Amino acid sequence: MEEPPNLSEHQLEVRHRLSANLKRLRALRGLSQEALAARAGVHRTYASQVERKVVNTSLDNIALLAQALEVDVAELFSSGDVASVTARPALKKADSLTERKTRRKPG
């Protein structure tokens, strides 16, 4: 893969972290690039381009990818294996509210 021209070492490192974490988290959840893209509401080829470090993705799209993976945005930029793979508390809370509503008896 050819790196985009005119990027600093720091910019390349940030893209590498994002790429590596997307791949790792996607694999942990058993998702294909196509499934991740569908969950995030982006095109399949765009998700591939982000993972291959080809595009300069926007913060909005990073937020969509993080939401699709049920992680905080910061987790997509963490270094090493220290990133957790737990769902965000806000998503857990929403799930528990849904669960409580479905347990109620009608009428």
Which domains, and CATH codes, for the chain? 9-103 (1.10.260.40)
pLDDT digits (tens, 9 = 90+) for 15-44: 999 999 999 999 999 999 999 999 999 999
Output 60-65 pairs: Cβ under 8 A, ≥24 positions apart. 62/18, 64/40, 65/22, 65/36, 65/40
Please report which helix (H) or strand (E) contains residue 106, including its range.
none
pLDDT digits (tens, 9 = 90+) for 31-82: 999 999 999 999 999 999 999 999 999 999 999 999 999 999 999 999 865 4
Q: Which of 66, 30, 29 has its CA nearest to residue 47?
A: 66
Q: What is the pLDDT of residue 89?
A: 42
Q: What is the pLDDT of residue 50?
A: 97
Quote the CA–CA distance of 76 and 98 in Å, as a whole number. Answer: 27
Residue 2: pLDDT band (50, 70, 90) is low
Quote the CA–CA distance of 21 and 89 in Å, as a whole number. Answer: 20
Q: Is 101 exposed, middle or buried (0-12, 13-18, 19+ CB in 10 A)?
A: exposed
C-alpha of 40 from chain center: 8
Q: Give the pTM.
A: 0.71
Quote the CA–CA distance of 91 and 18 in Å, as a whole number. Answer: 22
